[in-house]
Amino acid sequence: MNKKLLSVSIASILALGLSACGGDDGDNGATGPQGNAGQNGAPGSPGSPGAPGTPGANGEDGNGGASLKRLASAPLGAEFTGIFLNSDGVVFSNIQHPSSSNTTTDVDGKVINKGTIGAFVGVDFNNLGNVAAMDMPITEADKERVLSAVGNYMVLAQQSDALVSGKEMGDIIAADGSTLLKSSNDPDFNAAVSDGGTGYFLYSNWEDRPGGMSRIALTSSYGVTQEGMIDFSSVKGTWVNCFGTLSPWGTPLTSEELYFDNTADWYNINNNEAKSIAEYLGLPTDGSGAWGNPYNYGYIMEIGTEGTVAAANVADVKVNKLELLGRFSHENAIVMPDLRTVFLSDDGGNTVFFKFVADTASDLSAGKLYAAKVTQSAGVSDPAEAAFAVEWVLIATGTEAAIEAAIASFDGTVGEAKQITAQQINDYAEAKLNQDLDTSGTIASNPFADDRIGFLESRKAAAALGATAEFNKMEGVNINRGLADAWWSNGAANGAQAYMYMAMSDTTGAMSDGAGAIQLDGTNGKCGAVYRMKLVKNSAGLVDVTTLAPAVVGGPYYGSRSTNRCNTNNISNPDNLIILDDGRVLIGEDTGNHQNNIIWLFEDPAL
């Protein structure tokens, strides 16, 4: 190891941390090659970064002062998923699809060579204080373990661990309750809930096609009982369970990431993914009989409904899909402190930022779905500077009962291929806007008596209604519940501001294609960005956001490199994120552009 090099990189990271305090370096431009900031050079020790600041002025676009500290690194080939802050200050995070040829044992003797659920223990993330950043892993041994700047990564469960239920961790079982369809190595979203005593139940997604969810019981000292997998047969199975959050009323909200941009693909008999649903349901996979209903998948799903979240027996946990929160490629939903507003991110290409507003607090079964229409700062294309104004376009109004009944009307066969057509989507939008969008000479009426088109083909309906369908790889969107609640209950005034953050894994695609509402410079776009949204109280007295501003931007991007194509001292393809009680943000990467994926501790100069 080259000690000199190491110390230089430590100095530059620390110097970056310090420069953040001033908050007025904003015009440095792109976060980019962070090494430059090293000139500040001051020794890293003088702690309490951020204290001297009067950072407000540059808050919206001043990312030049961005403070990133490398907090943890994942083994080769793996991404960090399911980052979750528990009430005791422990942070859970999973290791998704690590290299199966990893043979390095960690301090507990575990080898992370399969999907792994774990937690950073021995540290209170809600009282983190100043953190000495860790360096890039260099040796193979370090590249193959979970390294962290604080605490110790503890493996809680791994793919194929034996479960009390008799099945294995990560098993995807068919609706019949017994047929093993597959074993997943893709743990994702975690949510810990109280077990009613001093321990927790940890719910974890298994992001597969169909998807799954496991539950393990943890004592207060993280002793593990491997319980079992949740039964989703009551909702006809689930699909690519991605990220999620815990609702304010204590239920995990898991997300179905639906990568079927066109519902017609669902009926393509050569498509193995649609077949896998038929297989789950016990239907003929050659399409000769009934087929899965495409509108049964692609939602936020609530786990532990009807008071079953802490049921003693995992088999008794009930689930419910929240169809009113729209059907698209859900990354996650986050419920606001008003208990009525829910923000929703949409993963994939040409995607939409959604908002749901419930009619009644704590009841997501009736309400309105909106989509964001954004306006980019004029004349600014640098992703590090370009902020967006957000307006909300109403997409649909309805009740869960009515939409569930509407969904059932699409039950059928491959031959019938029941689906909402492009013409119907156009007609729906014409009726809502009272405009002849397809210049057919007439303004069509809504083909249905309800707003099912907006709820079931949400992305296309949003685009037709004028919302911005240009986001690219939109990932985690989150708040710190305590900070947001405090801001809200104290009158939602500016000052003790609460923020929502959103990861955008990659800002190329429709975000940098030179057309439409979003026109960013794509030079470094493959490294992604994290956006900040100031929570505000709107005229309806509800939580809202009206701006979307870059908080930290990855890159530079070095396209010809064999590895680490994104600058290693900066974020790359951010995915999961959580906000700590002190407002700092943990940003987890899902990237092929860093050899080892990183969890960053980000101290936003806007705070």
Partner 1 sequence: MKYFISLILIMLSACDSSTSISEITEPTTQQSSDDAQILASLKFPSSPARSGRAVLRQAHAENIYNAEAVIPPQCYTKHDGEYNPCMTCHQSYDYRSRPNTMSDGGLQHVYAFSDLGTHNHWQNLFEDRRPRIAKISDQAVIDYIYTDNYSPLIEQLKSTADWQGPIPEIKNLHLGAAAFDEHGMAKDGSHWVAFNYKPLPSTFWPTNGSSDDVMIRLPAKFRQTSCKNKDYSRDTYLANLGILEAAIKDLSRISVPAIDENAFCEDLNQDGKLSVISEIIRPTHYVGQAGDEAVTVMLYPIHTEFLHSVRYVGISKDGDIGLPPRMKELRYMNKFAFFPPTHLVSQYGNENQEKIEGLLPQFINRGDKGTDNSFGWMLLGFIEDQQGQLRMQSEEENLFCMGCHTTIGSTIDQTFAFARKLDGAPGWSYINLKGMPDAPYVNAANTKNDSEGEIAHYLKTVGGGNEFRENDEIRERFFHADGSLNVAAINGLDVYQLITPSLRRALDLNKAYMTIVADQDFIHGRDANLQPVRNVYSEIDPESTPVLPGDKKVQWDIRLRWPNSSLNSVETALPLSAK
* Shortest distance, position 216 Cβ to partner 1, whole Å: 18
* Shortest distance, position 437 Cβ to partner 1, whole Å: 26
* Bridging pattern class, strands 529-534 and 499-504: antiparallel
CB-neighbour burial class of residue 1 (10 A; exposed 0-12, middle 13-18, buried 19+)? exposed
CB nearer to partner 1: pick between 273 and 450: 273
CB nearer to partner 1: pick between 460 and 473: 473
CB nearer to partner 1: pick between 28 and 285: 285
CB nearer to partner 1: pick between 91 and 230: 230
Beta-bridge mates of residue 411: none
CB nearer to partner 1: pick between 182 and 432: 182
* Shortest distance, position 266 Cβ to partner 1, whole Å: 15
* Shortest distance, position 191 Cβ to partner 1, whole Å: 22
* Shortest distance, position 239 Cβ to partner 1, whole Å: 11
What is the residue whose two structure tokens read 């700047």?
149
CB nearer to partner 1: pick between 12 and 113: 113
Cα angle 237, 238, 241; round to 5: 160
* Distance from the first to the final alpha carbon of the chain: 37
Amino acid residing at 58: N
* Shortest distance, position 428 Cβ to partner 1, whole Å: 27
* Shortest distance, position 204 Cβ to partner 1, whole Å: 16
* Shortest distance, position 182 Cβ to partner 1, whole Å: 5
Residues 6+ apart with CB under 8 A from 220: 88, 198, 199, 200
* Shortest distance, position 176 Cβ to partner 1, whole Å: 9
The maximal CA–CA distance of the chain, rounded, in angstroms, is 74
Cα angle 521, 343, 208; round to 5: 85
Residues 6+ apart with CB under 8 A from 565: 526, 527, 557, 558, 559, 572, 592, 593
Overall size of the chain counted in residues: 607
CB nearer to partner 1: pick between 39 and 272: 272
CB nearer to partner 1: pick between 140 and 316: 140
CA 556, distance to chain mean position in Å, is 23
CB nearer to partner 1: pick between 168 and 256: 168
Amino acid residing at 89: G
Q: How far is CA 346 from CA 89, 262, 299, in A?
A: 29, 15, 11
CB nearer to partner 1: pick between 285 and 397: 285
Handedness of CA 356, 361, 363, 365 (dihedral sign): negative
CA–CA distance, 243 with 387 (Å, rounded to integer): 25
CB nearer to partner 1: pick between 326 and 509: 509
* Shortest distance, position 99 Cβ to partner 1, whole Å: 4
CA 92, distance to chain mean position in Å, is 15
Q: Is 462 helix (H, G, I), strand (E, B) or coil?
A: helix
CB nearer to partner 1: pick between 270 and 539: 270
Binding residues (CB under 8 A) for partner 1: these are 76-77, 97, 99-101, 113, 140, 166-168, 171-173, 178-186, 208-209, 240, 259, 270, 272-273, 275-276, 279, 285-286, 473, 560-562, 592
Q: Which long-range contacts (CB under 8 A, 24 or more apart) does 264-272 make?
A: 264/417, 264/419, 266/292, 266/294, 266/419, 267/291, 267/294, 267/414, 267/417, 267/419, 269/414
* Shortest distance, position 186 Cβ to partner 1, whole Å: 7
Lookup: tokens for 476: 């985690």
* Shortest distance, position 180 Cβ to partner 1, whole Å: 5
How many alpha carbons fall within 13 Å on the CB side of residue 450?
19
Are the C-beta atoms of residues 571 and 527 closer than 8 Å to each other? yes
